[in-house]
């Protein structure tokens, strides 16, 4: 079976961590050993940290600092867990949750072997409810600035105020942008509750992944 190595990049609050967690749980559920790597140096205080223990209970190996390991660090600036540097040497599935924007995407350069890894796929998560990626032209410009991107992930939503119409309109923009960029859309991510209304919709042949929202629990 092919080795799966995925790095999620994209705009601030586009859903990178949410998609990474869901993907890790999905693949772990298929019986594969999964390592989830927290490489968000931009937001060391608002990422996977509060969910680390729970994710480990689900059988996922999380490379990143937990709540206690972060105590006493204060405003130390960007910091990645030392083990994250060697994450690509691990067995099994590797999911990398990367910091936002162009500078966030460059964090990938800190991971040993990232340039040469034949299995690595860099996926840019796009939510059209984010004002910087709300139109086809904005998405194309944004993704071009990010550096290496191998595929887009379509993830348009409005949190609790999401509607199927919003998801579909956003998805069509992402598909159009991907066409202009010459990239595939790896999948459309939507909350489980939209399974029924979306089943009969033409999504341009893009596979759908039904996800759950875990990140709201990361803040409180």
Partner 1 sequence: MVEKPITGSRKAFMTGNEIVTWAALASGADIMFGYPITPQNEVMHYWTRLAPRFGREFLQTEDEISAGFTVCGAVQAGRKAFTATAGPGNVLMQEPFGMAEAMRLPVVAVIQQRGGPSSGTVVYSQQEVTLTAYGGNGEGHRIVYSVATHQEIFDYVIKAFNTAWTYRFPTFVLGDGYQAKMREPLELYDPAERGIQLVPPTPLVGLPGAIGEDREPQHLCNIYSLEEELYDAVLRLEKDYQAMAPLVVEWQEKNCDHAELIVVSHGVVSRAADDAVQALRQEGVRAGFFRPVTLRPFPQQQLREALRRSGAGRLLVAESSQGQLLRLLRQELYGERVPIDALLMPGVGIVDEDIIAKVKSIL
Q: List residues near partner 1 by CB under 8 A.
A: 12-13, 43, 45-46, 74-75, 127, 129-132, 134, 157-162, 166, 219-220
Residue number with CB closer to partner 1 (52 or 157): 157
Residue number with CB closer to partner 1 (92 or 147): 147
**Least distance to partner 1 from the beta carbon of 92, Å?**
31
Residue number with CB closer to partner 1 (64 or 170): 170
Nearest Cα to Cα of residue 63 among 87, 44, 42, 47 = 87
Asked if 132 and 163 touch (Cβ cutoff 8 Å), the reply is: no
Q: If residue 186 lies in a helix (H) or strand (E), which one and from where to where?
A: strand 185-191
**Least distance to partner 1 from the beta carbon of 74, Å?**
4
For tokens 């693949």, the residue is 27
CA distances from 36 to 21, 65, 71 (A): 8, 12, 21
Q: What angle do CA 135, 22, 59 make, to 5 degrees?
A: 160
Residue 153 structure tokens = 């992930």
**Least distance to partner 1 from the beta carbon of 70, Å?**
10
**Least distance to partner 1 from the beta carbon of 49, Å?**
12
**Least distance to partner 1 from the beta carbon of 60, Å?**
23
Residue number with CB closer to partner 1 (72 or 82): 72
Residue number with CB closer to partner 1 (131 or 182): 131
């Amino acid at each position: 079976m092919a080795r799966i190595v995925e790095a999620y990049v994209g705009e601030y609050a586009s859903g990178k961590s949410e998609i990474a967690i869901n993907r890790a749980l999905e693949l772990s559920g298929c019986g594969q050993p999964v390592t989830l790597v927290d490489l968000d140096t931009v937001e060391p205080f608002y990422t996977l940290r509060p969910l680390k223990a729970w994710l480990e209970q689900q059988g996922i190996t999380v490379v990143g600092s937990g709540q206690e390991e972060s105590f006493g660090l204060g405003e130390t600036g960007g910091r990645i867990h030392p083990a994250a540097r060697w994450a690509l040497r691990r067995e099994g599935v590797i999911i990398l949750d990367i910091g936002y924007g162009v500078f966030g995407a460059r964090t990938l350069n800190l991971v040993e072997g990232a340039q040469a890894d034949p299995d690595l796929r860099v996926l840019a998560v796009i939510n059209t409810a984010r004002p910087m990626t709300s139109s086809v032209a904005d998405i194309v410009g944004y993704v071009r600035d990010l550096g290496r991107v191998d595929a887009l992930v379509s993830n348009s939503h409005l949190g609790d105020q999401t509607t199927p119409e919003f998801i579909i309109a956003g998805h069509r923009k992402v598909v159009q942008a991907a066409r202009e960029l010459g990239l595939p859309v790896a999948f459309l991510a939507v909350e489980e509750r939209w399974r029924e209304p979306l089943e009969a919709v033409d999504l341009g042949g893009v596979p759908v992944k039904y996800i759950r929202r875990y990140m709201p629990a990361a803040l409180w």
